[in-house]
Amino acid sequence: MSRRERQIMDVLYQSSGATVSDVLERLPDPPGYSAVRAALATLEAKSHVRHEKNGPKYVFIPTTAASTAKRSAIQHLVRTFFRGSRENAVAALLDVSPSQFSEDELDRLAMLIEKARAGGTGGKR
């Protein structure tokens, strides 16, 4: 997806569906109405959204669950910027001052690592 398509999808996920006017109101540096309408038509052609008629307007609704879209975006990010290395991606995310993590966040990260170890084969994936 293009940057603008991702921004539009973000709006649709936040509102569980929106009209072109709704999307325009919520986009940063919005393009014209026709450009948003064209982007929504492209997203519909790619099966990312569908529309329902609500009076004279169309309401666009995501067809892909937000969790599925997140996984796909993360996989794309890891492939594009980290040459497929999940380890390098996580290392980049963790490359901040330790004080930026709460104890709860650190506990959750430790739990996820332990869960991965318990379910893994012990080798590199």
pLDDT for residue 95: 81
CATH class of the region 3-62: mainly alpha
* Residue 37: closest CA among 14, 63, 18: 18
**Which strand (E) or helix (H) includes residue 107?**
helix 103-119
pLDDT for residue 119: 84
Burial class (CB in 10 A: 0-12, 13-18, 19+), 20: buried
Instruction: Tell me the average confidence (pLDDT) per consecutive run of 10 residues in the chain, 125 residues long.
Output: 89 91 93 95 94 94 87 88 89 80 88 87 49
Domain spans, the chain: 3-62, 66-119
pLDDT for residue 50: 96
pLDDT for residue 125: 45
pLDDT for residue 21: 95
pLDDT for residue 120: 62
pTM (predicted TM-score): 0.65
DSSP codes of every residue in 70-87 = HHHHHHHHHHHHHTT-HH
